[in-house]
Chain A
């Protein structure tokens, strides 16, 4: 498998074509995604929005290869996920995808800097260098004083900043962000999105955010709205707001 990223030549970073995903539920499968087609571009923050249970998180999971699909094709920076083995997808994720989880998923027994250095250690960095790089990223998000704190010693907003740092530390080309404001109050959520937009959005990077929080739609460059396992609307943020 080649890990070469083709973003500069191809503005489309993520391409989902006619993807169907079902889950077994007795005799009749439950369809989470029905013939979904979707695109996200480099240099943009794309939001997948819609009510609970519409398939947003499933779409996010198949895009980053943590969930297999029944049919269709998914290309991430030109790499066909369907053509890759599990090991290749795992390697691809470790090098090219940064995750920000709804519950942050910071390991409580590790310090902030240790949590942030994990993606680098997974890539084979030695601990000292990984922690040095993690410390630089944490200082950029204003947590330079809390490097040796444990996650439970931080506020929700600070934890979110640690999660953003962890997603960015290894310079991934794709940032996957699942309900980033769900565990935060409105003001903190707003600050978190500001930080995400400022630090994550880059010309060669694609940021995909799944949310149902309409208060943060204004941060999006592109919005795809889902309903009942289908993308029912996909347009620029300004078009979405006017509509």
Chain B
């Protein structure tokens, strides 16, 4: 009877299309919005992924990577003194203002790397050499900066100069970096030069990057460093998740995206549930006839669930497929943010399954109440 059930569904083209469109839209809305949300959350922790150190040491009050409370330079020495530390270097992280040759401004995320080791260097140098960072006024700028400057009519290449807080910066290399939450370009320089670019404060060092010795786990080392008064150390993954959770807890972003996802669920339930219910109602007297002819309730239930799940499967496939197409396009443009981990389609599949179960259940309720004798009325 399952083939009969599918034929009944597929040949009722108007309702079939309505169900597919409803579930596709629902699936698309949930997958796309969840993926944009995940992408946005990934942007919040771009600095962690760009720098890549195993252990990050901050002021004790710091909860995530984008809030920096400057430390004293002496903290590097204190960290180096902790048992299990292979090495520890300072890093500067700060948002500075760059002035272009035409007088316009652009905020940049300035990263000051340890001059000797370049720990935290860009993952991919697309043009030039990292070693040139030791040249006077040298900076490396990422692809976001190149694109933003280009929009303002300035082509960035090796040798281009601009000012950071009225001090000359000269591009010696181009790099590719993960995009930051606020969309500011990453500008890399040495730690010492970063302190010259930055506005002077009593304490200037943003944090200390550390490497555990062999045999010591990063999390264990972070715990040892955190035992020092006034310091808080995070293992890389912990910092990554702490940053994401901080944005989830302290901003309206999850509510905003959650509302749209909820709307997707409601649209799915409303359109798919109602259309499927109407489909069942339209076929009620034929289902009663089948009941009279000897179709048992489990057979009818299997037919209804198959019908519901087949439209769910097609709608889910189309929705996720269209989202993937959207993602493919936006990843080329680098915005809006987009990241579809496997959990997103699984989450959407679960929601679609629940919608299908709900739709089938309300249809089945009608069928269960149906007396086969109704066919004689």
Given the contacts A91-B294, A107-B286, A101 and B8 also touching, CB distance less than 8 Å: no
Nearest neighbor of B372 in chain A, beta-carbon distance:
A66
Chain B contacts for A108, CB-based, 8 A: 286
B376 contacts A61, C-beta separation under 8 Å: yes
Chain A contacts for B288, CB-based, 8 A: 105
A109 contacts B7, C-beta separation under 8 Å: yes
B293 contacts A178, C-beta separation under 8 Å: no
Chain A contacts for B334, CB-based, 8 A: none
Given the contacts A93-B293, A95-B294, A119-B294, A67 and B4 also touching, CB distance less than 8 Å: no
What bracket does the count of chain A residues touching chain B fall in? 20 to 34
Chain B contacts for A107, CB-based, 8 A: 4, 8, 283, 286, 289
Assembly CA distance A82 to B289 (angstroms): 22
Within 8 A of B (CB), among A118-152: 118-119, 121-123, 127
Contact of A87 with B by CB under 8 A:
yes
Within 8 A of B (CB), among A58-96: 60-61, 64, 66-67, 87, 90-91, 93-95
How many Å from the CB of B289 to the closest CB on chain A?
Answer: 4
Assembly CA distance A105 to B372 (angstroms): 12
Chain B contacts for A123, CB-based, 8 A: 294
Given the contacts A66-B373, A67-B371, A118-B290, A109 and B8 also touching, CB distance less than 8 Å: yes
Within 8 A of A (CB), among B272-330: 283, 285-286, 288-296, 299
Which of A60, A87, A91, A118 is close to B376, meaning CB atoms less than 8 Å apart? A60
B296 contacts A118, C-beta separation under 8 Å: no
Contact of B369 with A by CB under 8 A:
no
Contact of B131 with A by CB under 8 A:
no
B294 contacts A93, C-beta separation under 8 Å: yes
> C-beta contact mask, A5-29 vs B, less than 8 Å → 1, else 0?
0000000000000000000000000
Assembly CA distance A109 to B289 (angstroms): 15
Contact of B202 with A by CB under 8 A:
no
Contact of A102 with B by CB under 8 A:
yes
A66 contacts B4, C-beta separation under 8 Å: no
Given the contacts A105-B286, A109-B7, A114-B7, A122 and B376 also touching, CB distance less than 8 Å: no
Contact of B365 with A by CB under 8 A:
no
Contact of B375 with A by CB under 8 A:
yes
B7 contacts A110, C-beta separation under 8 Å: yes
Assembly CA distance A127 to B295 (angstroms): 16
Which of A66, A90, A95, A121 is close to B1, meaning CB atoms less than 8 Å apart? A121
A121 contacts B293, C-beta separation under 8 Å: no
Chain B contacts for A87, CB-based, 8 A: 296
How many Å from the CB of B171 to the closest CB on chain A?
Answer: 68
Nearest neighbor of B298 in chain A, beta-carbon distance:
A87
How many Å from the CB of B283 to the closest CB on chain A?
Answer: 8
Which of B8, B283, B296 is close to A90, meaning CB atoms less than 8 Å apart? B296
Q: 28 A-B Cβ contacts within 8 A?
A: A61-B376, A66-B376, A87-B296, A91-B294, A94-B293, A94-B294, A97-B294, A99-B289, A99-B375, A101-B376, A102-B376, A105-B288, A105-B289, A105-B375, A107-B4, A107-B289, A108-B286, A109-B8, A109-B11, A110-B7, A110-B11, A118-B1, A118-B290, A119-B293, A122-B294, A122-B295, A123-B294, A127-B3
Contacts A93-B292, A109-B11 supplied; 8 other A-B pairs, CB < 8 Å: A57-B376, A94-B293, A97-B293, A105-B375, A118-B1, A122-B290, A122-B293, A127-B3
For the complex of A and B, list the 3 residue pairs with the smallest distance between their C-beta atoms, beginning with the closest. A94-B294, A109-B11, A105-B289
